Amino acid sequence: DCDVCWLPGGYPELHAGKLAAATNFHAGMARFAAAKPVHGECGGFMVLGEELGDAEGTSHKMLGLLGHSTSFARRKMNLGYREARLRAACPLGPEGTLIRGHEFHYAQMTATGNDQPLADLADGQGNPLGASGYRRGHVSGTFFHAIARSA
């Protein structure tokens, strides 16, 4: 038994078909998220969404625990140090917490859904970049990779 599920970064676009077909994974994550916190970071954030488009443009159904969709069909580099201020409590910390980290991904958002924003993001120089990630119930996620405070 665990208190939180953390879906880390990775390359879900390389395994999107298998992830879409993993019905036990989908059902288990839905059960867990109904009662306990789930957070997805970068690739994990993509898996939490409705759909993931692979590099060939094929769309695969993901967990649907958040309402966004992402795609690798038209790649765009997103890279840099970031600061995120949480708009609500999540596994990263309480509301208002300032977290440092980075973004490194090629995926793009293809649909935003109707979930609440998770954090306000700024670049490494403090320039505002807007809202980042989403939250719904016990579920949160973002492309942002947090760096542990003790690191």
pLDDT of residue 72: 81
pLDDT of residue 77: 60
CATH number, domain with residue 122: 3.40.50.880
Identify whether 134 is part of a domain: yes
Q: Which domain holds residue 138?
A: 5-146
pTM: 0.93
Domains contained in the chain, number: 1
Cβ count within 10 A of residue 87: 17
With a cut of 60, say whether residue 75 has pLDDT above it.
Answer: yes
With a cut of 60, say whether residue 109 has pLDDT above it.
Answer: yes
How many angstroms separate the CA atoms of 32 and 57, rounded?
30
SS (H, E, C) 97-127: CEEEEEEEECCEEEECCCCEEEEEEEECCCC
With a cut of 70, say whether residue 105 has pLDDT above it.
Answer: no
Identify whether 24 is part of a domain: yes
**Active site residue ranges:** 42
Q: Residue type for 68, please?
A: H
